[in-house]
Structure 1
Amino acid sequence: MGSGEVNQIPFDQFQRYNNVKKIIDGLRNGNERYRILEVGANEHQNLERFLPIDKITYLDIQLPKELETNPKYILGDATQMTFEDNAYDIVVALDVYEHIPPEKRNKFIDELSRVSAHFFVITAPFYSEEVKESENRLNTLYASMFKENFIWLEEHAENGLPILSELVQYLEHSDNNFNIISHGNVDIWEKIMSMHFFAAQNPELIMYREKVDQFYNEHIFNCDYSDQSYRKIVIGSKSMTVNKISIGENKQVPLKELAKLQELENSFFELRAFFIKESTEKKLSEFKNDLQQFKIDIAKEKEKEKDKLQLYVNTGIGFSEEQSLAYHLENRNEGSFYFNLSEFNEVKSLRIDPSMFSGIFEIKKVKINNEFCDIKMKGNYVLDLRNETFVFENDDPFIEFSLDKSRKIEYLEFQCMPVKTSTLVSELKTLQNVADEYLTDLKLKNVINNSLEEQVSDSLLKNKSLTGQINNKENEITEKERFIKILEDTNKDLKTEIAKKEEEQRLLALKQTELTAELSGIYSSRSWKLVKRLKSLINK
């Protein structure tokens, strides 16, 4: 991660982690890689962002469930760690020391020293009147905003901050040599932390607060090694000389940077004032709108005292005021309405305006000429429940009844009542319950279908596997049949060759027999006998 990205983290975290980076890199030999343990670590793993080449392990006494299986994290108590001596090259504990119970702090230091082969680093706020008053003011600010104390500052106040002289005395009597560095002017720390609290109350300020953090990290951090610091950095080692380590000589922030920080703070609070004004104006506008709507509602309520239900009759020329009848509703709870329509010619359609105003109305038990009718309805309602209860969002509601054919109507009778919202809610809940039951059944069916699909899928996979095995066996059989055919052909050729050789041998045997007989004849002939005698005479 580049330094630009690291510079964007909150300044308070940057103070801790960047100082540790400077210490470790200052003692590093070339590209030497360290095994580092951070105790009391949290979830953000910031240390590895500053020390990317090192192998870092995190230990905490409590871990969220999602980190319990993370190999980088170990659940453990820093005052009684289970590691062997010198298990890590370096051990760091950043703003942890002040949260250790006072009676366990020496044991905590002993464990950091025991487990670290090279050195250990702790950062923490220590008691001073300036630090105590600064934390008290900040906690009061937080409590006034959020109606509760800031958890860490409250703990500091209850348990008391550690005393630096007590730690120094303990280190002097231990096997460790040590060094103490001050960093983070307490006034600057309080100033920027205040902006953090205001931004937490108003998230629209977070983006600008991040710019303030970045300005501190890039322009003030390296000059902020003030003796009047909020935080101390303690380096201890049983094997190295660390008392001459220096990571910052600048104890005075340049006036130019302080002026710029003040300018950023002014802009931050001007921006806050702008957002407060904008929010107030928005709330005032909403209040005015609500008041105006309230006046309109009151006016409507007064008009509703003059409300009426009106029936329009369409005899083929459309709906008109001339062809309409009205009931003036002195009592809105009137329910049954009767209209004599004998004066009208054949009626094509009817329209009922249940009121002059928006609302929820129940219209049912429609009778034409004393007969209940199944009539197709349409209107400007936004919701229809069971073709009886209708929700009208706008004034001048109406429902139109279309007849299957024009007819003479003597009279029309129906019930029309306003419905209370609570009644509608009850109806909707009933429908919701029915829908929920249907969805439950549907989900169950889906589960069954999914199970069946999985079984079918498994069967298809097994079938595919078996088919593959069968194909392999068939290929093996085909190959073996081909090989057998080759052997049979070879055997046939060999048999033919053997027969040929046997025939040749038989013919040779016959030939030999003939030659033997012929030779025997020669030997027994008179000529051969004369020859033999001549040979014997010649030899003499």
Structure 2
Amino acid sequence: MSYESPELLDLPFDQYQRYRMLAEVADILRPDEQRLRVLEVGGYPPRLPRFLAHDEVIVTDQPAGDFPGYLQADGTRLPFRDREFDLVASLDTLEHLPADRRGVFLDELCRTAKDYLVVAAPFQFEAAREAERIIFDFIRVHAGYEHIFFKEHLERAAPDQVEAEKQLIAAGFHTLVLANGRLDHWLMLMAIYYFLDGRPEYEPVKARTMSLWNKNYYRSDNQEPAYRHFLVGSRRPFGRAEAGLLALSSREPAPALDLESVKAVIEIARLDSDRRLRGKIAELENLLSAREREVEGLKAEMEGLKNFVARLKSSLAFRVYSFLFQRAKS
């Protein structure tokens, strides 16, 4: 399977990195290149079918939608039989659930998975929460709105990775943990993405930037410290697949977080905001100058009218008219 088609590479890096890792996990786990029956819970709008084009993929989520293989459903009450799917996955969904529903959600994933289960999320990690706060504030200041998903992340406690893994083990799964989304890369690229987002003139640049990163630097994103982690579960011991899975992410810590590049992006955004603000100020100053010229013109017209009235009042015709008018009144 090639993950480098233009339609995939142009995806936002954050989507590409998690869906590609899931697809690579599926390719390693599939027995003898067998076609898998896969369920993704919480994947609206569907993206996974594009990464697993040769598998049967069902995607469920709560919004209504008309997509092939998509079913509107509640992840805590899935309308499927026990162990109906070879692989069940949920990516960056667990953290959006209220804490008291996460256990039921994981139970449903375990119930419907015949062989394999993958749960990925930004679990509890203070550095990741601080990175989200930075991006939330960046979007609010730079773009003028509050990002609904980051706001939800910050309002709810992140899932506990240890507790989630314990729940999978209790349900009979062997587990592995994989790092995905190296944190300093994630922070830098999120700043770049939302700096370019929402401005039509920057859309081609945004797509090229995402494609460049996804094609050349995806591998470097799968190491600690990571924004998210994949919990990979198997009902049987992983056996020879374990080495392949562990090779998907580096177990060696990354070098010290490279925050200078992030600061550079934020400084560029600040300068751009300043430039746009100066442009708006210049536009308003030009408008004010035009209005001042209009006022001066009106003043000149008013002065002309005053002079005309003065001349009119001093004319013989006006004096005669005034005399006759007063006589008529008396």
TM range (shorter): 0.7 to 0.9
* Residue pair 2:225, 2:254 contacting (<8 A) in 1 also: no
- Change in Cα spacing, 1:147 to 1:223, as seen in structure 2 (3 Å) is closer
Aligned to 2:34: 32
Aligned to 1:103: 100
Aligned to 1:419: none
Alignment match of 1:87 (pick from 70, 79, 84): 84
Structure 1: how far apart are the matches of 2:199 and 2:226?
29
Aligned to 1:19: 21
Is 1:229 aligned to 2:259, yes or no? no
Structure 1: how far apart are the matches of 2:231 and 2:28?
15
Aligned to 1:376: none
**Letter of the 1:246 counterpart:** L
Aligned to 2:291: 294
Is 1:273 aligned to 2:271, yes or no? yes
TM-score, normalised with respect to structure 2: 0.78
RMSD value, Cα = 3.3
Within a 5 Å distance, the mapping from 1:470-509 to structure 2 comes to none
Structure 2: how far apart are the matches of 1:193 and 1:237?
32
Is 1:10 aligned to 2:12, yes or no? yes
- Change in Cα spacing, 1:307 to 1:214, as seen in structure 2 (3 Å) is same
- Change in Cα spacing, 1:223 to 1:274, as seen in structure 2 (3 Å) is closer
**Count of residues paired in the alignment:** 302
SS at match of 1:181: strand
Alignment match of 2:73 (pick from 45, 68, 76): 76
Structure 2: how far apart are the matches of 1:288 and 1:149?
30
Aligned to 2:327: none
- Change in Cα spacing, 1:305 to 1:136, as seen in structure 2 (3 Å) is closer
- Change in Cα spacing, 1:286 to 1:133, as seen in structure 2 (3 Å) is closer
Structure 2: how far apart are the matches of 1:209 and 1:31?
35
Is 1:304 aligned to 2:292, yes or no? no
* Residue pair 1:60, 1:74 contacting (<8 A) in 2 also: yes
* Residue pair 2:27, 2:33 contacting (<8 A) in 1 also: no
Bigger relative CO (Cα 8 Å, ≥ 6 apart): 2
* Residue pair 1:33, 1:53 contacting (<8 A) in 2 also: yes
Structure 2: how far apart are the matches of 1:254 and 1:110?
34
**Letter of the 2:21 counterpart:** N
Alignment match of 1:142 (pick from 139, 151, 154): 139
CA displacement at 1:26 relative to structure 2: 1.6
Aligned to 2:58: 57
CA displacement at 1:297 relative to structure 2: 1.2
* Residue pair 1:117, 1:239 contacting (<8 A) in 2 also: no
CA displacement at 1:330 relative to structure 2: 3.7
Aligned to 2:248: 248
SS at match of 2:74: coil
SS at match of 2:218: helix
* Residue pair 1:224, 1:253 contacting (<8 A) in 2 also: no
SS at match of 2:246: coil
- Change in Cα spacing, 1:61 to 1:93, as seen in structure 2 (3 Å) is same
**Letter of the 1:60 counterpart:** D
- Change in Cα spacing, 1:108 to 1:117, as seen in structure 2 (3 Å) is same
Q: Whose Rg is larger?
A: 1
Map Cα deviations across residues 220-273 of structure 1 (whole Å, 9 max, x no partner). 221233231110101113256378232425456998xx79x94x9847854873
CA displacement at 1:31 relative to structure 2: 4.5
Map Cα deviations across residues 54-78 of structure 1 (whole Å, 9 max, x no partner). 12111112325xx2xx452212111
SS at match of 1:77: coil
- Change in Cα spacing, 1:113 to 1:4, as seen in structure 2 (3 Å) is same
Map Cα deviations across residues 81-124 of structure 1 (whole Å, 9 max, x no partner). 12112222211111011122322323222221221222121110
Structure 1: how far apart are the matches of 2:128 and 2:284?
45
The runs of 5 or more residues in structure 2 that have no matched partner are 311-330
Query: What percent of counterpart residues are identical?
Result: 25
* Residue pair 1:90, 1:117 contacting (<8 A) in 2 also: yes
Map Cα deviations across residues 424-457 of structure 1 (whole Å, 9 max, x no partner). xxxxxxxxxxxxxxxxxxxxxxxxxxxxxxxxxx
Structure whose residues are more often helix by fraction: 2
Aligned to 1:198: 195
Map Cα deviations across residues 444-484 of structure 1 (whole Å, 9 max, x no partner). xxxxxxxxxxxxxxxxxxxxxxxxxxxxxxxxxxxxxxxxx
Structure 2: how far apart are the matches of 1:127 and 1:114?
25
- Change in Cα spacing, 1:137 to 1:276, as seen in structure 2 (3 Å) is closer
- Change in Cα spacing, 1:106 to 1:267, as seen in structure 2 (3 Å) is closer
- Change in Cα spacing, 1:172 to 1:254, as seen in structure 2 (3 Å) is closer
* Residue pair 2:142, 2:269 contacting (<8 A) in 1 also: no
- Change in Cα spacing, 1:291 to 1:186, as seen in structure 2 (3 Å) is same
Structure whose residues are more often strand by fraction: 1
- Change in Cα spacing, 1:151 to 1:303, as seen in structure 2 (3 Å) is same
SS at match of 2:128: helix
CA displacement at 1:289 relative to structure 2: 2.9
Aligned to 2:314: none
Aligned to 1:171: 168
- Change in Cα spacing, 1:17 to 1:307, as seen in structure 2 (3 Å) is same
CA displacement at 1:29 relative to structure 2: 4.0
Structure 1: how far apart are the matches of 2:152 and 2:139?
14
The runs of 5 or more residues in structure 1 that have no matched partner are 309-327, 332-540
**Letter of the 1:220 counterpart:** Y
Aligned to 2:48: 47
Structure 1: how far apart are the matches of 2:85 and 2:156?
31
TM-score, normalised with respect to structure 1: 0.50
SS at match of 1:89: strand
Within a 5 Å distance, the mapping from 1:77-476 to structure 2 comes to 77-145=74-142, 149-200=146-197, 204-239=201-236, 241=238, 244=242, 245-250=245-250, 262=261, 266=264, 270=268, 273=271, 276-277=274-275, 279-280=276-277, 282-305=279-302, 330=309
- Change in Cα spacing, 1:272 to 1:141, as seen in structure 2 (3 Å) is closer
**Letter of the 2:153 counterpart:** H
Structure 1: how far apart are the matches of 2:58 and 2:98?
24
CA displacement at 1:150 relative to structure 2: 2.7
